[in-house]
A and B are shown apart, each in its own frame.
Chain A
Amino acid sequence: MSLLSGIVRKLSEDIKNILTVPAETARDITYTVEGIRSGKISPTEPLKTVGATAGALVLVLALLFPVYWILQAALSGSGASLYSADGISIFPDDPTLQAFVWVVGDLIIPGYSIAFDVPLTNVSLVFDTPEVTLLDASTYGVDRPSSFKHFLWNSITVAIPTVIISMCLIVPASYALSRRQFIFRRKILFLYVLLTQVGGGLGVALLIGLYAIYVQFGVNDSKLALSVYYAATAVPFNTWLLKTYMDGIPVSYEEAAVVDGAPPWRVVTEVIIPLSTAGLATVFIFTFLTGWTEFVVAQTLLGTDNYTLPVGLYSLVDEYSIPWARFSAFALTFAMPIMLVYLFAQRYIEGGLSFSGMEG
């Protein structure tokens, strides 16, 4: 729980910071203007700052342009295409959320009747919950909404087991590799470093073997089998990452806990786990994303009914025409949670990927 409240505290700090930015900037500017007037600050200094910031802003905008472009396509309705005859437009002509409605489809919680039998009597109480309509797609002119929710369910049932399985495999292993000495330790580490990047990518090269084996064991259409596979590919890189992160935690903290009489498991739960939050968060996100965004293996192994979001997304594309508005809206809805996590977890990820154990 302390972890959760910590995250909430950091988030509210972030929000407070963002909200006070205008005031801070205004104060900064008045201070600088005063300074220049009284001659304390040379006028070239603020000019340099403004120039550097503007340059950086241009760079960031240029890099993010494709993302913006997608958003614009998603907002410009059913007739959208990424190619417009009259040049590049900055804003969509008349923005509409229709494509997003098409993606999300109906949000209707159906009415249920709940019956209770009152004990010892013949009376039974029946409650009818009302039907709650949050969003009715047909009122927005969308007749056949996408199967987004179906794909979403498939993706969730693939990604969550992936995270659980891989965390169970990764966390104890990285702790042991970071803190204990044992036989084959160096060999295993070397192997993991060697395999760090090979895991995911070689999946394609090994796909033929994997496919044949899965088909013959009859698990080629099983979501659980797929998530075990994802967890397996995530092991080397993430174990190594978390191990490197744990190396950065000073051993003296654990020694202090041991001196205070903490048993080994409490050292882990009270010292190691809380101190490696950033590393754990990074590993969590990475393993989640393995299952959430992988395409090739999922497409080859899964049947139409079990398609995950990326496969469902690509099935919108046909050889000659891409329904850009729907395609982009679909992708953005699918990526939005991840982008939000990135936005807020950026400091954790930066810390988690710092490889603080490998200076030198």
Chain B
Amino acid sequence: MSTASRVVHRLEEVPFLESRDASLLFVLPGLFVFSTFMLFPVLYLIGVSFTNAAPSNLFAGEGVFSVMTFGEATFVGLQNYTDVLTDPEFWNSFGVTWLFVATSVALKICLSLGVALVVTNERVRGRRLMRSFIILPMGLPAIFTITVWRGIFSSAEFGLVNQVLGIFGAESVAWLSTRWPAFFAYNITEMWLAYPFMVIITVSALQDVPEELHEAATVDGAGLISRFFHVTLPSIKRPVLFASILTAAASFQQFLIPYVFNQGGPARANELIVVYGYREALSFSEYGRGAAVSLIAVVFIGAFMWINVKRGKLADGVSDE
């Protein structure tokens, strides 16, 4: 008897499993590795968030045992959470994060939908080649493009945006050292970073729209705009919705843009929530508070994804029973 069939046999003896459940074995390794690297840090973070952990006490001692006791950090109960939740800076960061999600997702959808419609338009010659080129930014490392965008939005008179403004006779703007211009710069950069992914998904969706639908609508006398709203949009709604949810989650967790641009400044005004947690922990050495902030972020992003997956019925699209 081969090992595989022996395993199947063994499975049948377990009361609630059937032989076909052996397929679960294909999935378990991935699930296990993922849980080890994601759930374990989460559990650890939950522990740390109840202590006054700082680099000095957390890394005291070595080995497995001191991981369990969080080094020599002491238990402080809910103090980190009450500190964080009564800190106006936290609420500011929280609000800015959601605002950023709303504005950047709107921008991303508009740009990518527009670009996708253009590069699939039948009148445009060489659209295949254009599509190849347009996703190139995806190949550039994010840390690099973000640094370049920092240069573009440089507050100096010679920054690219300021030069363009200069051509139109406008005054230079100190982009990264004033609050809302910096926020605007985040949005533009995020939009540019995310468009290749969105465009690919939208283009694939657009190509799946049956040609007959368009022809039928044209015969019925529908114009370009009403064809877009009544034929194209309904057929690409689900993939685009899915991409939007993914990209919204990415916006929520945006870290590099604020961090590289101006460390979430000026004066911590634009710290998105992940940056806030990171800075609390690693710049101000308050591991406990940082952990509490990160956990609150995890809870919110988890809830956000859960609601969207439920409401968007995305899991249904996955299972084909």
Q: Which residues of A contact B (CB under 8 A)?
A: 18, 21, 25, 48-49, 52-53, 55-57, 59-60, 63-64, 66-67, 69-70, 81-85, 87-88, 165, 168-170, 172-173, 175-177, 180-186, 188-190, 193-199, 201-202, 204-210, 212-213, 215-218, 228-229, 231-233, 235-236, 239-240, 243-244, 247, 292-293, 295-296, 300, 309-310, 313-314, 317, 322, 324, 327-328, 331, 334-335, 338-339, 341-343, 346, 349-351, 353-360
Contacts and interface: CB of A to CB of B under 8 A. Distances in A.
A189 B38 contact: no
The 8 closest A-B pairs by CB, nearest first: A83-B158, A201-B253, A358-B317, A209-B41, A176-B26, A354-B204, A232-B37, A52-B123
A208 B158 contact: no
Interface of A is mostly: helix
Nearest to B44: A209
A158 B163 CA distance: 41
A309 B141 contact: yes
Interface size class, chain B: 35 or more
B279 to A, nearest CB: 11
Contact of B23 (A83, A176, A309): A176
A208 to B, nearest CB: 5
A198 B139 contact: no
B143 A355 contact: no
B40 A213 contact: yes
Contact of A202 (B24, B127, B158, B301): B301
B82 interface: no
Contacts of A205: 253, 274, 277-278, 294, 297-298
Given A60-B134, A83-B156, 8 more contacts: A60-B130, A66-B149, A67-B137, A82-B152, A181-B23, A194-B302, A300-B282, A354-B207
Contacts of A216: 59, 62-64, 66-67, 71
Interface stretch (B27-35, B84-92, B99-107, B173-181): B27-35
B142 interface: yes
A295 B121 CA distance: 37
Nearest to B278: A204
Contact of A183 (B16, B145, B159, B305): B16
26 contacts: A25-B125, A64-B137, A66-B148, A67-B136, A173-B26, A173-B27, A176-B27, A180-B26, A183-B17, A183-B24, A194-B305, A197-B305, A198-B253, A202-B297, A209-B291, A212-B59, A213-B67, A233-B34, A247-B320, A335-B141, A339-B136, A339-B139, A342-B132, A342-B138, A346-B135, A355-B317
Chain B contact residues, majority secondary structure: helix
Contacts of B163: 87-88
Contact of B246 (A66, A190, A197, A314): A197
Contacts of B93: none
Nearest to A196: B246
Contacts of A233: 34, 37-38
Interface in B186-218: 192, 195, 200-201, 203-205, 207-208
